[in-house]
Structure 1
């Protein structure tokens, strides 16, 4: 098509006539076949413009979808920090040892199946019962469904925010906070794992406050009273907006081999 346009633009003589008409077999549009005479050279124009436009639209949509997939993968890979063991976690390889943990698994799966970009979850329980396992499984499958997601522990998040003070970093604190604000699903793992400073509490509030109206999953070993004390009442109150608490009590499955 480009060469044809160039020929027309550079022509000294041009004529055209309709030599036949027919309906496109794909879309039913009436196609007029043109005989073009450009500088005494005969060209036949026999294309369906509607189908051409649809093909261009399809290619544009595919390119956009590929870009979104690439963006989701880049966000997850650049900002999620996951242990090697947790990378293997899925819903299929999580094996509950009691009814409470079985219910937690079902709630996690239902949360993903009915994802609405608003509600959150708070997994509360002992070490090793699978809080991180289930939340990471949600995070992983969300990406497969076209939902952008990031999984990061709160201690690591605070470390990352501090590291942005280093001029050699590829991104700034503003970059990191913007990503955490705008991702479809954010998992904040291991809340209350240490006793944060006032700076840490303020930064944590900045993150969760930016997540209002968005889907956020939290995990913690602390009960409600302990968590409110560690992260601050204002942070705890903000976390609980549209958030369902999932209690998980049971044996530490990471130590199960020691009991044999």
Structure 2
């Protein structure tokens, strides 16, 4: 996956911060140890001198082997003495050495000249965070979703809006509790203000808590990013939105059908949905449009993919946003 130069810069800065913090912390602990045990500093200095003396012995040749053996034994003796001093003060060598976040690369980002897995993970995390920065991923939860705003009146023998929404709530809760990388796809449809965004964000929060990479945004936000990157292909401008939409563990597209329409955006959204179906990566889509309106806006092939590969959840009721303003006390389900 390619990333904007800004993402690499942020990742490198974070790795440098981690490395510097680990080294500075270790240095402070070592200095504190020397303050209470001056003998240890002298021993450490003598250990360092054995290395320089060994180098000199090699350069001078002569009885280098015997000299090297003597220096090795001296070094081992000094190392043991230093360890004993640490133990006498309740410390181990690990206490005065840098504790890097990644033991493999020691927070450099590279192992044997190759990019470390921690660097790859950091790049992906930063890219997700940048894309999600303006989204309200932490603003909704299952706990603050109230069913009291939905009517419990049954009409013509059909289930009430509240019963319908309770079933949807329970379904979404189970989906979030059991979420994994190959969970199914969800399609939320219904009028505006019925809780589609709330429940999709609640699922997102649970997935993030489990450690999954989640990308959330409105179709309009994604469309703007994709259009911008289409015409501005530079390292600074980015170009990774499409990769992130295809690659993330969970993609949430809110307000599908409300984006500015163009042949490029329509084709790209379809390709993202189709790619994720092929890769068995879960996607949640919400829209205010009916299936007929979606087919008219996109095409029959688009709606066919939705019908065939998504669980469709129909939200019912009247716009609850005004009800919340009028009766904010309804906090419980």
Give the TM-score of the pair, scaled to structure 1.
0.73
Tell me, in whole angstroms, the C-alpha distance in 1 between the residues paired with 2:268 and 2:103.
Answer: 40
Q: In 2, distance between residues paired with 1:166 and 1:189?
A: 25
> Structure 2 residue aligned with 1:43, among 78, 82, 87?
78
Counterpart for residue 221 of structure 1: 288
Partners of 1:81 and 1:59 lie apart in 2 by 26
Gaps of 5+ in 2: 1-43, 58-66, 84-93, 108-115, 151-161, 328-333
How far 1:10 sits from its partner (Å)?
2.4
Report whether the alignment pairs 1:171 with 2:237.
yes
Alpha-carbon separation, structure 1, partners of 2:325 and 2:68:
88
Alignment of 1:101-140 (within 5 A): 101-118=165-182, 119-140=184-205
1:12-51 pair list within 5 angstroms = 12=57, 13-15=67-69, 36-38=73-75, 42-45=77-80
Structure 1 spans left out of the alignment, 5+ residues: 17-34
Shift of 1:45: 4.7
Instruction: Judging by fraction of residues, say which structure has more helix.
Output: 2
Distance of aligned partners of 1:11 and 1:159 in 2 relative to their CA distance in 1, 3 Å threshold = same
Higher relative contact order (CA 8 A, sep 6+): 2
Counterpart-to-counterpart distance in 2, 1:4 and 1:135: 63
Partners of 1:75 and 1:170 lie apart in 2 by: 13
- Residue 93 in 1 paired to residue 144 in 2? yes
Q: What is the rounded CA distance, in whole Å, between the counterparts of 1:246 and 1:112 in structure 2?
A: 15
Cα distance in 2, alignment partners of residues 92 and 136 from structure 1: 12
- Tell me the alpha carbon deviations over residues 73-130 of structure 1, each in whole angstroms, 9 at most, x when there is no partner: 523331126566x752111111123121122122112112212322111111111011
**C-alpha distance in 1, partners of 2:274/2:49?**
57
Cα drift, residue 257 of structure 1: 5.1
Give 1:27's aligned residue: none
Rounded to whole Å, the distance in 1 between the matches of 2:131 and 2:244 is 9
Match of 1:10 among 51, 55, 70: 55
CA deviations on 1:208-257 (whole Å, 9 max, x unpaired) are 12212101110011222222222222222333454211111012111215
Indicate if the aligned counterparts of 1:122 and 1:244 stay in contact, CA closer than 8 A. Answer: yes
**In the aligned structure 1, how far is the partner of 2:168 from the partner of 2:50?**
64
1:184 shift after superposition: 0.7
Report matched runs for 1:227-242 at 5 Å.
Answer: 227-242=294-309
- Judged with a 3 Å threshold, the aligned counterparts in structure 2 of structure 1 residues 195 and 70 are, in CA distance, closer, same or farther, namely closer
Deviates more, 1:236-245 or 1:87-96: 236-245
The question of whether the paired residues in 1 share the 8 Å contact of 2:250 and 2:282 is answered with yes
Residue number in structure 2 paired with 1:60:
103
CA 1:180–1:171 in 2, change beyond 3 Å: closer, same or farther? farther
Q: TM-score, with normalisation over the residues of structure 2? A: 0.58
The alpha-carbon distance between structure 1 residues 59 and 130, as it changes in their structure 2 partners (threshold 3 A), is: same
Cα distance between partner residues in 2 of 1:65 and 1:93? 37
Could you say which structure has the larger radius of gyration? 2
